[in-house]
Structure 1
Amino acid sequence: MTVPGRRSSTFTRLLRHGFTAPSAAERLLDSAELASIRTDPVLLDALGATADPDLALHGLVRLVEAQPGATARHELLDTLISAKPLRDRLLGILGASAALTDHLTRHPGDWHALVTYEQRDLHPGVTEFERQLAQAHDPVSLRVAYRRCLLSIAARDVCGTIDVAETAAELADLATATLRAALALASAAAPDDDACCKLAVIAMGKCGGHELNYVSDVDVIFVGEAAGGTEEIKALQAATRLASHMMRICSDVTVEGTIWPVDANLRPEGRNGPLVRTLSSHLAYYQRWAKTWEFQALLKARPVAGDRDLGESYVATLAPLVWHAAERDNFVPDVQEMRRRVIANIPAGEVERELKLGPGGLRDVEFAVQLLQLVHGRADTSLRSGTTLDALKALAAGGYIGRVDAVQLDDAYRFLRSLEHRLQLYRLRRTHLLPKDEGDLRRLGRSLGLRTDPIGELTLEWRRHTGVVRRLHEKLFYRPLLDAVAQLAPGEARLSPEAARERLIALGYEDPAAALRHLEALASGVTRRAAIQRTLLPVLLGWFADSADPDAGLLTFRRVSEALGKTPWYLRLLRDEGAAAENLARVLSAGRLAPDLLMRAPEAVALLGDGDGAGLEPRGRAQLEQEVLAAVGRAENAEQAVAAARGVRRRELFRTAAADIVGSYDSADTPTGPDQGALVDLVGDAVSDLTAATLAGTLRAVVRAGWGDTLPTRFAVIGMGRFGGHELGYGSDADVLFVHQPQDGVDEREAADAANKVVAEMRRLLQLPSTDPPLLIDADLRPEGKSGPLVRTLTSYAAYYRRWSLVWEAQALLRAEPVAGDEELGRRFIDLIDPLRYPAEGIGDDAVLEIRRLKARMESERLPRGADKTLHAKLGRGGLSDVEWTVQLLQLRHAWAEPGLRTTRTRPALAAACAAGLIPAEEAAILDEAWILATRVRNAVMLVRGRAGDTFPSQTRELAAVGRYLGYGPGHVGDMLEDYRRTTRRARTVVEELFYEA
């Protein structure tokens, strides 16, 4: 008797053997069912060796209770104690699978299937499984027989008699035997149909690859032909009835549950296509219509049931198409895009728990291996295996994957598949999600042999293996390219030049010979630099290949590396700072502007390496101006001063462009999502601040060179248009007004001469020949336009605006903001124009009509001849001009009463109009979306082409690069243009309602 408050020795032993509910276990051991064996130490040891001892003990009691009589119970218990093989198998099943425990309690005699332990029992094949299923004469008995066979596979699996690859192969063999049995039942039920047609069942996916899960759809394709002189159409109808009946036999739910769904959606045209086709029909489809992923799926095609000759003819006929799929346009991007789509469709809360589809999961291994098989399998037939691990071994033997990488990938794949098997085995449900419940995690960890800290060890192993897969998935497609050009040890496996060339073409490189030369220049030799490059390049090549212009990315990387190769920090930065190498690859392959800037200031690579992203964060105007003025102060003359200011501008333009490009890769998939708006604001603020700082430095240089420290007149630069609105793009001109006011005691003529000389010299210095992007200052918005003086006094401006100002000038002044020079004078200018741009009671009807007339005239006169109005970002339908004029009209009408409208910026003014109820929220969102997208298009064109433009490029690669910047993957340029047209069409509708009051 146990003393109250003290634990019994059995309780302690149960805890030591891994029971989590020892009190309940004690009660079960004391039950009448286990009376004859409760004290046998062998039983506790065996229970403690299972994945879940509590589950195993509870299942054992249920199984004993289910036996049909005392004799049967004694037989089970006696055999359990005396026969270790049975004990290990049975308790292993009971501790790992609640579903198979349920089967055993429904069919209490089926435990006898676990008794046999002979050599021939270790690895039964299709024939053995067919023999065991042969006595099933209806769907229900087929399910029972199937579960009995599954019981024996699972028992060998949990006991370690077979490894994960052998388990998967046996499951595929059992599926093959089951499909044959189901087809036999269907044929017996319709002998006339069976007689008039030939039907072949082709296994696809994991069944076809001999790597099936415990619970999985069994993917198939059906091929039919006429037999016995039957007309083809009637034969196909009969074959379709047989195929449908066979699918139902396997898939339908009965009192014994289901076997697994048979899925024929991989057939041509998917669910919309006929269930059964002739071989010639299949061939015609794959020759004309099939997508890349369909050839990838055919890698695992294997005839498993029905007419064997027809099935083998199907595989033999389609094989040449499979092994030439890598020659298709956009082959690798198509495969990569499919992988990205798979990840994108995983619910956000499940990505990190997805064994199969998540990053670093099983699909990453399978996709990478299949990609390499398709590229190299055309010439190397040893790679043509449908089984992932066999193909991986062949790839390593052929030198297409490094031996160490192959071993690590093999280990990771086996671990992940084992985890998947144990996860599904518990309930025999199709799942690939790592559970959250601690009890489930503990059972999983113990099932894999992790006993000290099952949950902690399982988590560590899971993270380690997924990390390995993520890393190798990114690199293994590219590493052998380096082996093809690097100096390797004699006898070491390497890719042939032709194979390397094929791989580069598949990746999207248009000039593989040049690419190989770049690789050789970077990675050959025994220097430390070459060794680091060989470490970096596999991943970099993948990032280049993910861009619209891999050739340009690799070429520029070589140039940057040669410029900085002897700098000790450069390669160390790329190797040790995880973000730096990826950021560099993205920037170098995104177009011309950023690489051109970088080549003139290679040291700016360091900006890419800050782990927290601070290096790419644009600097504010005050900080920029301080640096520019300090650089100007150190220069010997005005030309050198402006050159120094341009140097700062060059580096900071690169910083902004790099932040924009990297942000575009990281932002939301929707091209006009919230991240896109943030990127537009980032570029507008950064380029506007940089332009203001450059003008401040140029002004300082001119004044210092001509007058020393004191100019005879106070001088200010007023930003206009996009400049004043903090919305400059990479290729925008800087619209400005110049204003001055004589110093006390200075003659007005002397002051005017000085001011005009300042303006002339600033324009001259900024127009000096340079390889940098131009900075053009445009003063055409001044009073009287091009015919008026370049610079006026504040008094002259006041007189002009008082007497002669037109409504378009009031509209233009909505964007006016001081950007350089005398701050007090700038403020006085703003005080002067505020009543003009924010008129009391708003503008009248005549002024509104005049603005509309000007807008209509601009649309008809300024749009370039032949330009597509639906794709012109500035003047086209629903573009920048439409949105900005609509917002500015609201400002002219209502800013006197709504302080939020008194801003030079378009988006804040639009938001203020919405907040004031002047525009419905839905319409404001439509205008904002269109303005963001049009601005992004202009920025993209400058980044890609290196010169400004207002419409999409016509050159294919440039258009694809614009698409990549806007968030569209390979092959989706048409979607980009259609989305742009749709977005701007909606905006134009709002403009016609609000601006034209149509």
Structure 2
Amino acid sequence: MTVPGRRSSTFTRLLRHGFTDPSAAERLLGLPDMAAVRTDPVLLDALGAVADPDLALRGLVRLVEAQKPQDRQSLLDTLVSAKPLRDRLLGVLGASEALGDHLARHPSDWKALVTYEAADLHPGVEDFERGLADATDPVMLRVAYRRCLLSIAARDVCGTTDVAETAAELADLATATLRAALAIARTAAPADAALCRLAVIAMGKCGGHELNYVSDVDVIFVAEPVEGADESKAVQAATRLASHLMRICSETTVEGTIWPVDANLRPEGRNGPLVRTLSSHLAYYQRWAKTWEFQALLKARAVAGDPALGEEYVEAVSPLVWQAAERENFVPDVQKMRRRVVDNIPVAEVERELKLGPGGLRDVEFAVQLLQLVHGRSDATLHSGSTLEALRALAAGGYVGRADAAQMDSAYRFLRAMEHRIQLYRLRRTHLVPEDEADLRRLGRSLGLRTDPVAGLNKEWKRHASVVRRLHEKLFYRPLLDAVAQLTPGETRLSPKAAWQRLEALGYADPGAALRHLEALSSGVTRKAAIQRTLLPVLLGWFADSADPDAGLLGFRKVSDALGKTPWYLRLLRDEGAAAENLARVLSAGRLAPDLLLRAPEAVALLGDPEGLRPRGRDHLEQEILAAVGRADTAEAGVAAARGVRRRELFRTAAADLIGSYGTEESPAEADPGALVDRVGNAVTDLNAATLAGALRAAVREHWGDTLPTRFAVIGMGRFGGREQSYGSDADVLFVHEPREGVDEHEATRAANTVVTEMRRLLQVPTADPPLLIDADLRPEGKSGPLVRTLASYEVYYRRWGLVWESQALLRAEPMAGDMELGRRFVDLVASLRYPAEGLGDDAVREIRRLKARMESERLPRGADPTLHTKLGRGGLSDVEWTVQLFQMRHGWAEPGLRTTRTREALAAAHAAGLVTTEDAQILDEAWVLATRVRNGVMLVRGRAGDTFPSDSRELGAVGRYLGYGPGHVGDMLDDYRRITRRARAVVEELFYGA
């Protein structure tokens, strides 16, 4: 008798054997039928050895109770005396609740685990066919399928088969099941069966002999008429047979389901016919198929139906698979496929995803398949549908390092084993690692982790996922370095042809030049070369992920040549992961940022500082530039120093813009394009204002020392005054002066004109930097008027002769450099012109509309597409700005919010004042931001300003990447631009023209 409060010896033994609920287990063992188990230490030890002893005991009790009375003792006796059966049965019961349920429903099926012959260790398709032979309807097929699955699971959990052998057995069982289902369908429709030859082609994991416990079985159906039959009727008959086969496997019955048969990998996917003839398949693949479809065909294998037709299909499509790397769109398709598709995974599940998550199974499979496509065209040893077999072949051929392949093999096996055991528990399709402690404990123990199984499981899982993430890039790029570094001549490495093919497939337009750059960067035994060899595998991946990998690699070589002996540069890239990725993104995104960087390579340091990409304010910039000018010996030297600051700050702004647009692993792309546009506009405007201040100081010092005989101010106009400048914008300005006390007005005017002329000369000195051009054409009387006027002269002119377009231009007037108090007085002077009291009269409104219409008809360049011109095209910058400016001139006198030089601020104020609806304001804002970003993107990519999309496909792709469009989506970008600006034009027609 057990003393109350004390634990029995059985309870203690159960706890020691791994039971988590010893009390419940003790009660179950106390049942009369469990006497043999309760008293036999061997059986208790065997229960303690399984993944979940509690689950195994519950399943065993259910199985014993389900036996006929005369069979119970036979089962228990066999368990005691036959260790193989004991290990198999208890192993299955401790790992799979679903198979425990099956045994409780079909209590005699445990006998399928009794046999332990050598032939039983690795059964093939024929063995499984024999196991399914008596199944003549879907219900019987399900029962027989689970019975076969029972034996596979038993070999798996006992370690008789490894994960690859288990996956192959599951694929063989699926093959036998498809054959059985087709036989049932043929029996049900003999007339259809007599009309056609039907072959079932396994795809995906089934085709590759690496199936999961629970997975869709991907197939393609191909049919031909029997001799003398009509082709159309034969295809219809084959379609009925194929549909019936799919229902037999997929539908739910009293015995559950087997698995869904998925035919969506067929030509045209779910929109295409379920069954095609061989010639129809080939016609599709030769004309319409995308790269991913050839990638899928890597695993195509004839499994059921007419074997001759199935083999004929595989032989016919195989050459097309190995020609895929030569297709025109292979590179953009590969770049698209290289981006792991995690968008549809809930954020909370990404880190638990074994298949699609970072470092998951998909990473391994994609890496292997891409390398097969690239090198398999010239090496038939790579033509395998199995991931692990192909990985071994890649290592044997020298396409990946043997050590890397071994690590990838080990990681893949562990992740697949996790996936198998997770699915085996309830026989449900899932790739998520469970969160429940008990589930994690069972999973860890099933994988042999007995000491702290939960912690051990998490540690091993994260370790293997980390290996996969690291090797995913290394597998592509490390062999390229080994091929050129020439450090270990005895090792197998890529041949020059194979290296060329791989670079070509990864998007390098000039593989020969790329190999020369790699050799120059990585060869030798210097510290620099050693660090480059460490960095390049990752950098090459980032370059390949861009629109211009060649430019990225070339730029990196140039920067490294310039800074390679500088200790801080190598240390920065080695120790700062963000710096290396930021540099790769910037170098491969276009011409502007790399050109700026190569003229000032030390600016690389900005990329490693968390604050390095934050724009600096105008006061700070002006202080630095004026100090540099003050130290210079000549005006030219002073402006050269100002240019140096401008070069560095333009690079800072461009780099921040590119990284904010593209994002990095540590910092995803910014979601608000408007914020990116405003940041660039503010930064470039502040920088140009500070540069003009520097040029002004240099011009004054050259002729007058510290004091000009007249007070002088630079007024920003256009985008300059609106703080909306892009990288290539001119500085639209007005110059205003006021003689100092005691200075003759003629002398003052002469001095002011000299300063303007000198500023323009200094800023136009030839240089490789992006120019800052001063444009004063918005001054009174335009090009024929004086460059500079006194404040009083401006007042007289505007009062007597000012035109409505000049009042409109003054909406953007803002002091930018020089005497800021004089600049503010100028702004006060023109306030009544730009915001006329009581608004504009009808004649003025008509004049503005006439001018706008004339500009549209006369100024759009000949041959330009009006739907894609960002400035003057339909719904572009001009449309939005003139509409907003009309609101400002009509209502600015009454609405203070409209009194701003900025387009977006004025539009928001018009909306707040009820002058424009929410929808219309959003449409106009979206179009203006998009057109501005296109202009910025064109300048970043081409290194020169432009108002239209580039015609060069690579440049167009780079602009697309900047705007957030991945490879192959340039057409979507142009369609979206046209759609957005078309909507904006409709709003402009209503609000501006009053249509």
With normalisation by structure 2, the TM-score equals 0.97
**Which residue does the alignment assign to 1:227?**
226
2:52 partner amino acid:
D
CA drift of 1:674 comes to 4.1
Partner SS state of residue 657, structure 2: helix
Residues 257-284 of structure 1 deviation map (CA, whole Å, 9 limit, x = unaligned): 1111111121222222222222222222
**TM-fit CA distance, 1:4:** 4.5
Give the 3 Å change call, closer, same or farther, for CA 303–906 of structure 1 in structure 2. Answer: same
Which residue does the alignment assign to 1:25? 25
Q: Which moved more, 1:777-786 or 1:322-331?
A: 777-786
Q: Which residue matches 1:178?
A: 177
Aligned amino acid, residue 37 of structure 1: V
Matched, 1:692 2:689: yes
1:468 aligns with 2:502: no
User: How far off is 1:923 after superposition?
Assistant: 1.1
- Specify the alignment match of 1:713 in structure 2: 710
Matches of 2:723 and 2:7, distance apart in 1: 76
CA distance in 2, matches of 1:332, 1:174: 37
How many Å separate the matches in 1 of 2:836 and 2:87?
91
1:941 pairs with 2:914: no
**What aligned pairs does 1:840-919 form with structure 2 within 5 A after superposition?**
840-919=837-916
**1:652 aligned partner, one-letter code:** E
CA pair 2-467 structure 1, distance change in 2 beyond 3 A: same
Which amino acid counterpart does residue 48 of structure 2 have in structure 1?
G
Counterpart residue number, 2:642:
645
Q: Which amino acid aligns with 1:30?
A: G
Match of 1:960 in 2: 957
Amino acid of the residue matched to residue 963 of structure 1? G
Q: 2:805 aligns with which of 803, 808, 811?
A: 808
Measure, in 2, the Cα distance between the counterparts of 1:12 and 1:629.
Answer: 84
Q: Identify the residue that residue 360 of structure 2 maps to in structure 1.
A: 361
- CA-CA distance at 1:205 after TM superposition: 0.6
CA shift, 1:40, in A, is 3.6
Aligned-residue offset at 1:7: 4.2
Tell me the distance in 1 between the aligned counterparts of 2:283 and 2:346. Answer: 37
Q: Distance in 2 between matches of 1:556 and 1:997?
A: 52
Q: Is 1:202 aligned to residue 201 of structure 2?
A: yes
The whole-number CA distance in structure 1 between the counterparts of 2:384 and 2:200 is 19
Q: State the 1:761 CA deviation.
A: 1.1
Residue of structure 2 equivalent to 1:167: 166
Measure the CA separation in 1 of the matches of 2:532 and 2:311.
47
1:396 Cα deviation (Å)?
A: 0.7
**1:790/1:273 Cα in 2 relative to 1: closer, same or farther (>3 Å)?**
same
* Residue in 2 that maps onto 1:675: 672
In the TM superposition, what is the alpha-carbon distance from 1:301 to its structure 2 partner?
0.8
Corresponding residue of 2:517:
518
SS in 1 for 2:197: strand
3-state SS of paired residue (1:478): helix
CA 1:14–1:708 in 2, change beyond 3 Å: closer, same or farther?
farther
1:746-781 Cα distance to aligned partner (Å, 9 max, x none)? 333332222222211111111111111100011122
1:9-48 alignment, distance < 5 Å: 9-48=9-48
Q: RMSD of aligned C-alpha atoms?
A: 2.0
Q: Deviations over 1:792-825 (max 9, x none)?
A: 2223323333333322222222212111122222
Q: Any conservation in 1 of the 2:37–2:44 contact (CA below 8 Å)?
A: no
The Cα offsets for residues 946-986 of structure 1, whole Å up to 9 and x where unpaired, read as 11110111222222221222122222222211111111000
Instruction: Give 2:968's match in structure 1, choosing from 967, 971, 987.
Output: 971
- The answer on 1:542 being equivalent to 2:576 is no
Taking a change above 3 Å as real, the CA distance of residues 9 and 752 of structure 1, as seen in their structure-2 partners, is farther
Of the structure 1 ranges 12-21 and 310-319, higher mean CA displacement relative to structure 2 is found in 12-21
For residues 20-169 of structure 1, the aligned pairs below 5 Å read: 20-69=20-69, 71-169=70-168
Structure 1 residues 455 and 813, CA, compared in 2 at 3 Å: closer, same or farther?
A: farther
Q: What does residue 657 of structure 1 align with?
A: 654
Q: Deviations over 1:396-440 (max 9, x none)?
A: 111101112111111111111111111111111111122233332
2:304 matched residue in structure 1: 305
Alignment of 1:315-714 (within 5 A): 315-340=314-339, 342-610=341-609, 612=610, 614-666=611-663, 674-714=671-711
Would you say the 8 A contact 1:968–1:976 is kept in 2? yes
Q: Does the 8 Å CA contact 1:734/1:777 hold for their aligned counterparts?
A: yes
Contact preservation (8 Å) 1:362, 1:417: yes
Q: CA deviation at 1:295?
A: 0.9
Secondary structure in 1 aligned to 2:565?
A: coil
Which whole-Å deviations, capped at 9, do the CAs of 1:438-486 have from their partners, x for residues lacking one?
3322322222222333333322322222222122212312222222222
| 1:767-778 correspondence runs (5 A) | 767-778=764-775
Whole-angstrom CA distance in 1 between matches of 2:909 and 2:85: 77
Q: What is the count of residue pairs matched by the alignment? A: 993
Structure 2 distance, partners of 1:993, 1:15, is 80
Match of residue 749 from structure 1: 746
Alpha-carbon displacement from aligned partner over 1:84-109 (angstroms, at most 9, x marks no partner) = 32222222222221111111111111
Q: Distance in 2 between matches of 1:512 and 1:403?
A: 24
Distance 1:681 1:6, change over 3 A: farther
The alignment status of 1:724 with 2:717, answered yes or no, reads no
Distance (whole Å) between structure 2 residues aligned to residue 752 and residue 13 of structure 1: 105
Structure 2 alignment gaps of length 5 or more: none
- The CA deviation string for residues 844-868 of structure 1, in whole angstroms up to 9 with x for no partner, is 3222222111111111121112211
CA contact (8 A) 1:193 1:239 kept: yes
Q: Contact 1:333/1:546 (CA < 8 Å) preserved in 2?
A: no
Percent identity between the two aligned chains: 82
Say if 1:67 and 1:73, in contact at 8 Å, map to a contact too: yes
Deviation at 1:790, TM superposition (A): 1.8
Q: Paired residue for 1:252?
A: 251
Of the three residues 904, 924, 948, the one matched with 1:951 is 948
Q: Is the 8 A contact 1:330 1:506 kept in 2?
A: no
Aligned 8 A contact 1:330 1:508 in 2:
no
Q: Does 1:921 align with 2:918?
A: yes
Q: Contact 1:221/1:264 (CA < 8 Å) preserved in 2?
A: yes
Deviations, residues 186-221 of structure 1 (Å, cap 9, x unaligned): 222233333332221111110110000001111111
Distance 1:462 1:908, change over 3 A: farther
Aligned to 1:932: 929
| Deviations, residues 335-383 of structure 1 (Å, cap 9, x unaligned) | 3313537333333333222211223211111111011001111111111
In structure 1, C-alpha distance between the alignment counterparts of 2:361 and 2:980, rounded to whole Å: 39
| Distance in structure 2 (CA, Å) of the matches to 1:270 and 1:881 | 45
* 8 A Cα contact 1:807 1:850, kept in partner: yes
CA contact (8 A) 1:672 1:929 kept: no
1:823 counterpart residue number? 820
Q: Do 1:330 and 1:970's aligned partners in 2 also have CA atoms closer than 8 Å? A: no
SS of the aligned residue for 1:343 comes to coil
Instruction: Determine the C-alpha separation between the residues in 2 that align with 1:160 and 1:758.
Output: 88
Aligned to 2:199, what secondary structure does the other structure show? strand
1:414/1:302 CA distance change after superposition, 3 Å: same
Task: For 2:256, give the aligned amino acid.
Answer: G
Provide closer, same or farther for how the CA distance between residues 804 and 32 of structure 1 changes in structure 2, counting only shifts above 3 A. farther
**In 1: Cα distance, 2:197 partner to 2:499 partner:** 44
> 3-state SS of the aligned residue for 2:221?
strand
Matches of 1:722 and 1:924 in 2, distance apart?
A: 20
2:37 is aligned with what amino acid? I
Cα distance change, pair 897–75 in 1 and its aligned pair in 2 (3 A): farther
Q: How far 1:655 moved relative to its partner?
A: 1.2
For residues 799 and 16 of structure 1, the distance between their equivalents in structure 2, rounded to whole angstroms, comes to 102
Question: How many angstroms apart in 1 are the aligned matches of 2:614 and 2:464?
Answer: 34
**SS of equivalent to 2:339:** helix
Query: Which deviations, in whole Å up to 9, do the C-alpha atoms of 1:152-171 show, x marking residues without a partner?
Result: 11111112221111110010
